């Protein structure tokens, strides 16, 4: 949806392609350097990274200017950097006999989330705006995110 969002800001298509290409580079860098985020205590990382992601997306939805490209890139680095940290946390805390099930469930929930979120955002955006759709998604997801952060911190630490 960022392509449509950027189009609404009158950013030329070739530039949108460049922005999304750079976003992919940042995704690779986020995965490559995720270990640097681990220098913080894991308990803190489990709360701080999702907080930074939510803050970046809230600002992305609220600011209607090309500067939001930086917020997209920031969120991408943190999202992609968080997955290896979460997987390592699962590997370290879940017994071997349950690990494959937990990792599989994590992947399935991620896929299910995309199946639900993308059409919902599209529906809301078609009736209002992408900014409103992004904010509605964040408001809807925030309680679940907070619950997950609290639960993970409680169980894992």
Between 123 and 154, name the one with better pLDDT: 123
Classify residue 81 as exposed, middle or buried by CB count within 10 Å of its CB (0-12, 13-18, 19+): buried
- Residue 157 is predicted with a pLDDT of 65
The yes-or-no verdict on residue 41 having pLDDT over 70 is: no
The yes-or-no verdict on residue 52 having pLDDT over 80 is: yes
- Residue 16 is predicted with a pLDDT of 94
Q: What are the angstrom distances between the C-alpha of 114 and each of 46, 105, 106, 107, 130?
A: 21, 14, 13, 11, 17
The yes-or-no verdict on residue 113 having pLDDT over 90 is: no
Percent above pLDDT 90 for the chain: 21
0.85 cut: is pTM over it? no
């Amino acid at each position: 949806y960022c392509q449509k969002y950027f189009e609404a800001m009158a950013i030329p298509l070739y530039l949108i392609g460049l922005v999304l290409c750079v976003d992919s580079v940042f995704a690779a860098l986020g995965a490559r350097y995720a270990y640097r985020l681990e220098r913080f205590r894991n308990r803190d990382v489990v709360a701080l990274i999702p907080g930074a992601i939510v803050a970046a997306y809230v600002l992305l939805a609220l600011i209607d200017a090309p500067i939001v490209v930086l917020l997209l890139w920031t969120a991408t680095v943190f999202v992609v950097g968080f997955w290896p940290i979460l997987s390592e946390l699962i590997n370290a805390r879940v017994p071997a006999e349950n690990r494959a099930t937990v990792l599989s469930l994590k992947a399935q929930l991620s896929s299910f989330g995309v199946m639900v979120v993308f059409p919902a955002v599209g529906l809301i955006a078609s009736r209002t705006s992408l900014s409103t759709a992004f904010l509605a998604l964040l408001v809807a997801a925030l309680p679940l995110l907070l619950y997950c952060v609290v639960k993970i911190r409680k169980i894992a630490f």
